[in-house]
């Protein structure tokens, strides 16, 4: 799979890991459709990159179809990178009682159902396009988290939703093998996302020191670098890759 001249959808593309991936795609000659609920940031970045922004709730079928249609209008849709997600911190039973069910449901709906929704719609469109010499028609990269394996206190909703994304990887790759579409998942550790960068510097430094090596927060362009490798290496399929500097999260 080549990046140059091909079109890639990036959900959560207005900031963080998604924005870094969008920049990487354009720097390598590709075209991007940014799908996000952050309208101002998304439109600004799309304008900078010469791409297209579509306001998208990833749990909405109508929004997802609009994103895919925008991508097809730009050229050959060859990939989807799912970076949209939420990360609440709520204990199963806290000082105020049980975990609010609506928070758990919203987290699973965005992180898991949203990932599946965008993947199924993009895969359907890619399966109708001409294949490469290897028989490949597209690639889907989903985003899990090390919390899928080392969920901390307060991460019941987040960790379970990301574990489900990791569990989705192999069966989806097997489903789509006949269509020539690969499916991979990246499980980042502690990265410099907007949420983390909003924390005090001393907190950021303390989190970085938890990483064995390199002892710092991951950078969004390092996520994008791995995404590039996945796109270009046709043998990468059906697997979740931890991108975490060898960290194993403690309970809290």
Residues marked as catalytic:
158
d(CA 66, CA 68): 6
Do you find a cis peptide bond into 126, omega within 30 degrees of 0? no
Query: What letters, b where the CB count within 10 A reaches 16 and e where it falls short, cover 71-89?
Result: bbeeeebbbbbbbbbbbee
Contacts of 160 (CB under 8 A, 6+ apart): 108, 151
Phi–psi pair at 203, nearest 5 degrees: -70, -45
SS3 74: helix
Helices 16-27/39-49 angle, 10° precision: 10
Cβ partners under 8 Å of residue 39, min gap 6: 53, 55
Query: Which residue bears the tokens 């989190």?
Result: 207
- Cα separation, 17 vs 104, in Å, equals 23
């Amino acid at each position: 799979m080549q990046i140059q001249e091909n079109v890639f959808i990036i959900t959560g593309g207005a900031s963080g890991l998604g924005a870094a991936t969008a920049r990487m795609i354009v720097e390598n000659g590709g075209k991007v459709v940014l799908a996000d609920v952050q309208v101002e940031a998304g439109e600004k970045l799309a304008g900078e990159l010469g791409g297209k922004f579509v306001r998208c709730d990833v749990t909405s079928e109508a929004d997802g179809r609009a994103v895919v249609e925008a991508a097809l209008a730009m050229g050959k849709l060859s990939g989807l990178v799912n970076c949209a997600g939420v990360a609440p911190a709520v204990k199963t039973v806290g000082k105020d009682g049980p975990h609010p069910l609506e928070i758990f449901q919203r987290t699973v709906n965005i992180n898991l159902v949203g990932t599946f929704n965008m993947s199924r719609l993009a895969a359907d469109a890619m399966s109708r396009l001409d294949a490469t010499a290897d028989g490949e028609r597209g690639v889907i990269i989903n985003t899990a988290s090390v919390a899928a394996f080392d969920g901390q206190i307060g991460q019941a909703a987040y960790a379970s939703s990301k574990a489900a994304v990791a569990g989705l990887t192999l069966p989806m790759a097997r489903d789509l093998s006949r269509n020539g579409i690969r499916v991979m998942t990246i499980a980042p550790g502690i990265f410099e996302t907007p949420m983390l960068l909003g924390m005090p510097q001393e907190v950021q430094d303390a989190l970085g020191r938890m990483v064995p090596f390199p002892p710092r927060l991951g950078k969004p362009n390092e996520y994008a670098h791995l995404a590039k490798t996945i796109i270009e290496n046709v043998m990468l399929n059906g697997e979740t890759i931890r991108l975490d500097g060898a960290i194993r999260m403690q309970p809290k």
